[in-house]
Amino acid sequence: MTNQNVVASDPKSGIGLKITVMLPNSSIFSPAAAAPGRFFSPKKVLKRLETTTDGAGTKINAWVDSMRDSSPTRVKSSASSLSETEEQRSWIARHPSALGKFEEIVKASKGKKIVMFLDYDGTLAPIVSDPDQAFMTNEMREAVRDIARYFPTAIVTGRCRDKVFSFVQLAGLYYAASHGMDIEGPPKKRKYKKGNQGVLFQPASEFLPMIDEVYKTLLEKTKAIPGALVENNKFCLSVHFRCVDEKRWGGLFEQVRLVLNQYPKLKLTQGRKVLEIRPTIKWDKGRALEFLLKALGYANSKNVLPIYIGDDRTDEDAFKVLRDRGQGFGILVSKAPKETNASYSLQEPSEVKDFLRRLVEWKRLCFRPQY
């Protein structure tokens, strides 16, 4: 019997509740379910526990259910009488549009330095079937380039650094790649050069040989599953199942689980149509955000307003850090109501672009001479 801490959230208040439960065998409860930043309704936690304590078959079913959900977890109506429209209205009231509340956001920044944190997939670029084709538009690139001229800006992503840089192609940014396990600052020289001169922090470097080994094994084990794609993000791995027939999700999860059984120092978490394999070190996008604020000299500053925009469960770690600090704002990119620690919402990457442009325009007006 093992004590297991699970974070659940009250769907009405959005406040996280820590529940300690007794499990007959901790190994049959997925490590991802207890990962910081994952939020389940208390009902869902109990349902999950019932299924996960009933043998390997039901465990796979629980994972497949979870894989079916988009992420973060979609809000379920607490009262059956709530229609979808009412649910949407209630959610928007709690997480209003960052465009609609733009004045409120910039008012909060008075006397403070805005620092921008931007997720990549689903935030700056749309989610597409082939992760290698997740290009951002030139208009979005211009918006990010302009925002970085006025505010320190970091891209925080699960992708590896080389890959995300090949998409963003902007030199004056911080890149917190591989879920923040590979952080690089802007180069000191004006012309961007590849290399290690800008690396600030790599907390999981000892895991590199292990990650590479698991990558090769997973390539072999998943090659018979059509549509499965294993991506090597250097300090972590992604197994994309967006293009896998739903009937084969259980088989894919089982293959991944069997491989990971041999590597207790790696954990499995879940994102949008992707299984993520990461070192078990206590490091995530939230810790990366804290690290970067410290690197910028704002560790204990009251004069900073961090704004983090992201669409995924992994971004919830960063939203939670901002909520716990009582500083700055999380903005969730989502069209559907989701359980989240973000304060505001935007519907899709095009709205992210509009928000960034508006922030640049507001800052330019601040600098314009008054006559």
Nearest CB to Mg ion, comparing residues 119 and 182: 119
The answer to the question of residue 121 lying near Mg ion (CB under 5 A) is yes
Residue 272 beta carbon to Mg ion: minimum distance, rounded to whole angstroms: 7
Which of 36-44, 80-88, 304-312, 355-363 is the region at the interface with Mg ion (rule: CB under 5 A)? 304-312
The answer to the question of residue 311 lying near Mg ion (CB under 5 A) is yes
The answer to the question of residue 87 lying near Mg ion (CB under 5 A) is no
Residues 198-217 that bind Mg ion (CB under 5 A): none
Q: Which of 171, 179, 217, 222 is closest to 201 using CA atoms? A: 179
Nearest CB to Mg ion, comparing residues 180 and 198: 180
Nearest CB to Mg ion, comparing residues 87 and 119: 119
Crossing angle of helices 285-295 and 316-325, rounded to 10° = 50
Q: Which of 275, 306, 32, 31 is closest to 176 using CA atoms? A: 306
Nearest CB to Mg ion, comparing residues 71 and 255: 71
Which of 122-130, 175-183, 278-286, 342-350 is the region at the interface with Mg ion (rule: CB under 5 A)? 122-130
Q: Which of 195, 196, 147, 197 is closest to 173 using CA atoms? A: 147
Q: Are 186 and 238 in contact (CB under 8 A)?
A: no
Scanning the structure block, which residue is given the tokens 């069997």? 258
The answer to the question of residue 122 lying near Mg ion (CB under 5 A) is yes
Scanning the structure block, which residue is given the tokens 């001229």? 149
x/- letters, 312..351, toward Mg ion (CB under 5 A): x---------------------------------------
Residue 105 beta carbon to Mg ion: minimum distance, rounded to whole angstroms: 21
Separation in Å, CA 338 to CA 41, 165, 167, 329, 343: 11, 29, 27, 17, 12
277 token code pair: 């394999």
Options 87, 119, 184, 317; binder of Mg ion; rule CB under 5 A: 119
Residue 121 beta carbon to Mg ion: minimum distance, rounded to whole angstroms: 4
**Residues at the site binding Mg ion, with contacts judged by CB under 5 A:** 119, 121-122, 311-312
